[in-house]
Chain A
Amino acid sequence: MNSTDTEWLEAQVNAARQGNDEAFSRLVEKFQTPIFNLCYRMLGDAAEAEDAAQESFWRAYQSLKRYDQKRPFATWLLSISAHFCIDQLRKRHLVALPMDSLPEEEAPDPAPNPESSYNQREEQQNLRKLLSGLNPQDRAAIIMRYWYDLSEEEIGEALSLSVSAVKSRLHRARRKLAQMCQTKQALTVQAVRRQHESSAL
Chain B
Amino acid sequence: MNHQPFEQWMLDDEDLDQEQERALQEHLRSCESCPQLVHSWQAVRHEIEAEPQVAPIPGFTPRWQARLVKKRAEQQRRLAWGIFGLCLGIALIIVGIVYIPEIARLSPAEILANLLYNVTLFLAKANQTRGIIELFTGSVTPALPIAIWVLAASSLSALSLSWIFVMWKIVVPKGVRS
- Interface residues of A, Cβ cutoff 8 Å to B: 21, 25, 28-29, 32-34, 36-37, 40-41, 46, 49-50, 53-54, 57-58, 61, 107-108, 110, 123-124, 126-127, 130, 142, 146-147, 167, 170-171, 174-175, 177-179, 181-182, 185
Contacts and interface: CB of A to CB of B under 8 A. Distances in A.
A175 B11 contact: yes
Contacts of B67: 54, 58
A20 to B, nearest CB: 13
Contacts, number: 105
B72 to A, nearest CB: 10
B53 to A, nearest CB: 4
Given A61-B68, A108-B55, A127-B48, A181 B8 contact: no
A107 B47 contact: no
B57 A127 contact: no
Contacts of B11: 171, 174-175, 178
Nearest to A22: B65
B53 A57 contact: no
A174 B46 CA distance: 12
B63 A54 contact: yes
In the A-B complex, the 7 residue pairs with the closest CB atoms: A178-B41, A37-B53, A178-B40, A181-B40, A36-B56, A107-B54, A108-B57
B49 interface: yes
Contact of A34 (B40, B45, B50, B53): B53
Interface in B63-80: 63-65, 67-68, 71
Contacts of A28: 60-61, 64
B37 A179 contact: yes
Nearest to B54: A107
A178 B60 contact: no
Interface residues of B, number: 31
Could you tell me the dominant secondary structure of chain A's interface residues? helix
Interface string B30-54: 0000001110110111011111011
Contacts of B61: 25, 28-29, 32
Given A174-B41, A177-B44, A178-B37, A32 B55 contact: yes
B55 A181 contact: no
Contacts of B12: 167, 170-171, 174
A32 B48 contact: no
B64 A57 contact: yes
Contact of A36 (B38, B49, B60, B65): B60
A41 B55 CA distance: 11
Interface string B76-117: 000000000000000000000000000000000000000000
Contacts of A182: 36-37, 40
Contacts of B48: 127, 142, 146-147
